[in-house]
Amino acid sequence: MANVVEVKKDIYWVGAIDWNIRDFHGYSTKRGSTYNAYLVVDEKITLFDVVKRPFVSDLVHHLIKVLGDPQKVDYIVVNHVEMDHSGGLPELIERIRPEKVFCSPMGYRGLIEHFHDKAKDWPLVEVKTGDRLSLGRRTVQFLETRMIHWPDSMVSYLPEDKILISQDAFGQHYATSGRFDDEVDFSKLMQESAKYYANIVLPFSPQVQKLLQTVEEMGLEIEMILPDHGVIWRSRLKDILEAYRRWSSYEARALAVVCYATMWQSTEKMALAIADGLMAEGVEVKVMNAGIDHRSDIMTQLLEAKGLVVGSSTLNNNMLPQMADILTYIKGLRPRQKIAAAFGSYGWSGEAVKHMNKYLEDMKAKLVHQGLRVKFVPTHEQLKECRELGIQIAKAIKEDLANAQ
């Protein structure tokens, strides 16, 4: 059980830490996660977001610590309907009996679709972008953020405290004893922020760009960002805002991810030779084995990489299942503006390269080669050809980055 933390005067973190979660619908969460909820004590006591259902007792315990009686909560604000944030709502509403539960118009629909007849009896109130809610000394300003990363998503801004309660935006799956960005290892924090963006937020980068622009146009002063997962941003706001600007703009650097799935190590030999060629041209390389490295870690490396090189042995006229898994996952996250190529070994048919090329084309990647195939075990001359392919990809990466400046 974590301790209640006062974020600012009369504003409290009352969420839960999930030290044990290791998989978040296909995303590897090696460092656990948190389900953050925030309590604002004012004339109208307001709870922003709740927690995953198994952690309701943690939240109730925290409310008792601050308020004595959880029924003193007047309002609940649901910034996001996904079940890791709304799963505890039925039990909490039953216990608290709030006057009102605020959500976006799409959130209203989402709550009904998740909780059915039960939600129809809740005191739901729809709010839209620009709507304001007085809590007494404080005001809540609502801003819909559709598709960051669900249709119902919105954020809540407290202008008097210069606080943005950002639901999933700016979050991390990161379980720590520290509640703030300056209480944890900053390098690990940014690793987890990048992983979160790459595996959850990336497909919605145009909407992130729009949100950043809207915040600037509205002149919102922000001193703290309170996300629904991970730690609170108070000391390194510039770092995370700059990172979101960069990631949502699809900015990349001279880095290539060489990802492969191998049967009898022939494709692995090709991967290493391609990596040698890339490095010879001064391009940073991350070689990742699809049979060992998790799909979400591969996707994290790809976030800032300009190059994606994929390889697989042929199995049953197709690629190996590990590579099919990786490419299906990457394609769904819609990376953009990648320089790419495919390669692989085969025994008698060799269709893997063709299938991988199709995935790369669907991602709108720029293919610099028709695909390199080797029958059975590569010879010294064929490995030299692989190295030449790496050099060709590296040159294309550097040219593309130079043209983008």
**Amino acid letter, residue 10:** D
What SS3 class is residue 25?
coil
Q: How far is CA 188 from the centre of its chain?
A: 15
Model confidence at 1, pLDDT cuts 50, 70, 90, reads: low
Q: Which CATH class is domain 5-249?
A: alpha beta
pLDDT score, position 404: 85
Decide: 259 and 311 in contact? Cβ < 8 Å. Answer: yes
Mean pLDDT of 283-289: 98
Report, in angstroms and rounded to the nearest whole number, the Rg of the chain calculated over CA atoms: 24
Asked if CATH classification 2.60.40.730 holds for the domain at 253-404, the reply, yes or no, is no
- Cα–Cα distance measured from residue 103 to residue 82, given in angstroms and rounded to the nearest whole number: 12
Nearest to 245 by CA among 280, 308, 201, 287: 201
Percent of the chain whose predicted confidence (pLDDT) is above 70: 100
Residues 6+ apart with CB under 8 A from 137: 42, 43, 160
Residue 394 has a CB neighbour count (10 Å cut-off) of 26
253-404 matches 5-249 in CATH topology:
no
- Cα–Cα distance measured from residue 5 to residue 183, given in angstroms and rounded to the nearest whole number: 13
Query: Whole-structure pTM over 0.85, yes or no?
Result: yes
* Residue 103 tokens, joined: 């959500």
Q: What are phi and psi of 218, to 5 degrees?
A: -80, -10
- Cα–Cα distance measured from residue 260 to residue 262, given in angstroms and rounded to the nearest whole number: 6
Model confidence at 145, pLDDT cuts 50, 70, 90, reads: very high
**Ranges 33-47, 202-216, 267-281: which has the least confidence:** 202-216
- Cα–Cα distance measured from residue 119 to residue 103, given in angstroms and rounded to the nearest whole number: 12
Q: Give 146's DSSP letter.
A: T
Q: At what angle do helices 205-218 and 237-248 cross, to 10 degrees?
A: 130
Q: Where are the domains of the chain?
A: 5-249, 253-404
Model confidence at 70, pLDDT cuts 50, 70, 90, reads: very high
**Ranges 11-15, 33-37, 116-120: which has the least confidence:** 116-120
Mean pLDDT of 72-96: 96
Helix runs in 87-204, H state only: 89-96, 105-115, 117-120, 186-196
pLDDT score, position 93: 96
pLDDT score, position 82: 95
Model confidence at 165, pLDDT cuts 50, 70, 90, reads: very high
Catalytically annotated residues: 25, 80, 82, 84, 149, 168, 196, 229
Tokens 């991988």 sit on residue: 356
Q: Residue 345 forms beta bridges with which residues?
A: 374
- Cα–Cα distance measured from residue 306 to residue 314, given in angstroms and rounded to the nearest whole number: 26
